[in-house]
Structure 1
């Protein structure tokens, strides 16, 4: 049995805060509660569209770098398919400048029911570490490490 692939439309908003933009490398990691983990090392190189947040039209005629202030960028990535809805998303900023994303969302083009809700950040990301949101209802964390959670009274 061969592993089938899916195409993911990755939408990332950069906030309008002064200094929110970045030219650093941005990586993204997302997946489902069945430990299907998708990793894109250089999201910057996968950009396909710039969306206008106020108008539904696509602004493809304007060549611009991704992750500029007040923009919504869309990227496309093909990888193995998730089996359940995407329920976690982490971003990693590698470089010297700051970046303040607003939200990110993953749409699975072959299975819209597997797409994620919006993951909200709205703060400057720490550099060189994975930072994100996990709303999966499972016992194992998204990076494949399997350990029991400790509960303190």
Structure 2
């Protein structure tokens, strides 16, 4: 009985060592013109963008966003910036209400920056009607004239995934501890 308990404890302990697939990247194959409108219904999304305290103090660059779910439902806002209103100043946060096709769990987001100032978002948090709020952590300068972001849609089926390597280590440890204890 103690051996089975130890084995289960090792497996559960392994869940704490999950590998993250949250690295950002330049989206070479991302095409904003491929917007699926499977669903004619319109939903409202709240997008909360926090800008880092790194220079520049503000940006006059054009900032766009595209995000969506694993079922090709895509929401696109071609222009979020408004230099006259102080949007995207350093050490600040901005909230946007964006209408778009109704999507399920949001699992990707891309930002597009065009201009010469530069801009370093800290994070982007998106919430919508059919979606739990999700936060994407950038904390890096967005390259100019390129869609840059995250695509976690392969992991969208489970928010609690364990890598094969982690499973293997836990099983081997559990096996050896079964004989040792």
Does the alignment reach a TM-score above 0.5?
Answer: yes
Q: Classify the secondary structure of the residue corresponding to 2:81.
A: helix
Corresponding residue for residue 65 of structure 2? 28
Post-superposition shift, 1:20?
5.7
> What TM-score does the superposition give when structure 2 sets the normalisation length?
0.60
1:130 and 2:130 are equivalent in the alignment: no
2:96 is the alignment partner of 1:75:
yes
Task: Tell me which residue corresponds to 2:126.
Answer: 106
Distance in 1 of aligned mates of 2:149 and 2:52: 16
Unpaired runs of at least 5, structure 1: 46-62, 139-153
**Whose Rg is larger?**
2
Higher share of residues assigned strand: 1
Check whether the contact 2:58–2:86 (CA below 8 A) recurs between aligned residues. no
1:93–1:20 Cα change, 3 Å: farther
TM-score (norm 1): 0.70
The whole-number CA distance in structure 2 between the counterparts of 1:136 and 1:21 is 32
Query: Is the 1:20–1:99 Cα contact (8 Å) retained in structure 2?
Result: no
1:11 positional shift = 0.7
Runs of 4+ aligned residues of structure 1 deviating over 3 Å after TM superposition are none
- Deviation by residue 1:68-118 (Cα, 9 ceiling, x = unmatched): 000010011111110x2000000000111100000001111xx2x513421
Q: Distance in 2 between matches of 1:36 and 1:115?
A: 16
Q: 1:19 aligns with which of 48, 52, 56?
A: 56
User: What RMSD, in angstroms, separates the aligned Cα atoms of the two structures?
Assistant: 2.0
Instruction: Identify the match of residue 112 of structure 2 among 92, 95, 103.
Output: 92
* Alpha-carbon distance in structure 2 between the residues aligned to 1:134 and 1:20: 29
Return the structure number with greater helix share. Answer: 2
5+ long unaligned stretches in structure 2? 1-38, 156-181
Question: What's the CA shift string for 1:24-43, capped at 9, x where partnerless?
Answer: 11000100000111111001
Aligned residues: 117
